[in-house]
Amino acid sequence: MTATTEAAGPRAPRPVPQARGGAVVQSVRDSLVVARRNLIRMARIPEVVIFGLIQPIMFVVLFSYVFGGSIAVGGSTDPDTYREFLMAGIFAQTVTFATAGAGAGIADDMHKGLIDRFRSLPMARGAVLTGRTLADLVQTALTLVVLAVVAVIVGWRIHDGVLKALAGFALLLLLGYAFSWIGALIGLSVRTPEAATSGGLIWLFPLTFISNAFVPSDNMPAVLRHIAEWNPFSATVQASRVLFGNLPEGYPVPGAWPMQHPVLASLLWSVVIIAFFRALAVRKYRSAA
């Protein structure tokens, strides 16, 4: 009995599976898978989260008790007044400083070749970056919860109800998510995680300190005052103070449009930053080697 065999020709490539509902559904699904992968990774390295909490807690304690009676806010040098004025700035600084961690994480994945493996898979192009930024958003939210508890312990309070306070925290997280896309672009543009960390922090210090986060902007020189009043960071800080009810009596609200309409300005700034830097980051991801 003879067996006949046929020469097997090369197989055609398998079609890329499409999620039910189209490309948008597939992109969402892939992004959530990548986000879950990054959250599991964070849970297995808890020291990253712990060390990320130490710095903002130190800022709360140091600024509250070292500078609390030395800086006048609304004509008052009462430490309690400054403490409530300060907390929105500390919250905003915390969510934006997470940018450096996002950039370093993506740069580390690039350095290890993980991004190249993701690019070889049949998945949405922007899902890797979206999943990473979503995972960072979850970590930032947990950090804010812990930081808010510490703030309450040192004397910070909200005065306009829980719903407005939640809206203030939502604006803070939206700003943090927007800035994480800047970190993603930096992480894709450098060669090492160390460079991403340095590149992610070097521009954040002037952005956060030339603002209304720690001192009222009306005492700054004219040029710096205008920069601070149109700073997207300042808009979110001002919006959070308004929603938390932490603007002290007699505090002079600057005449710049973002300071007069801080909630709307904060939303607009965050949406513009997300749209612009997400497009740049996804483009960079597609061409990254």
CB 172 within 8 Å of CB 92: yes
CB 106 within 8 Å of CB 196: yes
- Tell me the DSSP string of 169-196: HHHHHHHHHHHHHHHHHHHHHSSSHHHH
Give tens-digit pLDDT for 79-115. 778 888 889 999 999 899 888 878 888 888 777 777 7
Return the residue matching tokens 């403490």: 83
Which of the residue ranges 18-32, 143-157, 243-257 would you say has the lowest mean pLDDT? Answer: 18-32
| Domain residue limits at 137 | 23-287
CB 118 within 8 Å of CB 128: yes
CB 203 within 8 Å of CB 180: no
The pLDDT of residue 68 is: 67
Give tens-digit pLDDT for 122-155. 777 778 888 889 988 998 998 899 889 888 888 8
Q: Within a domain: residue 15?
A: no
Instruction: Note the residue count of the chain.
Output: 289
- Provide mean pLDDT across the span 196-224: 87
- Provide mean pLDDT across the span 113-123: 72
Whether 12 has a pLDDT exceeding 50, the answer reads no
CA proximity to 106, closest of 203, 186, 202 = 186
CB 164 within 8 Å of CB 245: yes
Q: Within a domain: residue 12?
A: no
Q: Which residue type is seen at 275? A: A
Split at pLDDT 50, 70, 90, the class of 10 is very low
Split at pLDDT 50, 70, 90, the class of 288 is low
Phi and psi (nearest 5°) for 146?
-65, -40
Whether 11 has a pLDDT exceeding 80, the answer reads no
Q: What is the mean pLDDT of the chain?
A: 82
- Find the angle CA(183)-CA(205)-CA(75) to the nearest 5 degrees: 135
CB 93 within 8 Å of CB 205: no
Q: Within a domain: residue 199?
A: yes
Bigger pLDDT: 244 vs 55: 244
Q: Within a domain: residue 18?
A: no
Whether 7 has a pLDDT exceeding 70, the answer reads no
Split at pLDDT 50, 70, 90, the class of 69 is low
Whether 28 has a pLDDT exceeding 60, the answer reads yes
Q: How many domains does the chain have?
A: 1
CB 277 within 8 Å of CB 252: no
What is the percent of the chain where pLDDT is above 90?
A: 30
- Provide mean pLDDT across the span 172-193: 91
Q: Within a domain: residue 7?
A: no
Residues facing residue 73 across a β-bridge: 76
Q: Within a domain: residue 125?
A: yes
Q: Which residue type is seen at 246? A: N
CB 126 within 8 Å of CB 28: no
Q: Within a domain: residue 49?
A: yes
The pLDDT of residue 9 is: 44
Alpha carbon distance 153, 151 (integer Å): 5
What is the percent of the chain where pLDDT is above 70?
A: 88
Whether 49 has a pLDDT exceeding 50, the answer reads yes
Return the residue matching tokens 């991403």: 196
Spatial CB neighbours of 144, under 8 Å, sequence gap ≥ 6: 91, 94, 95, 169, 172, 173
Give tens-digit pLDDT for 269-284. 999 999 999 999 988 8
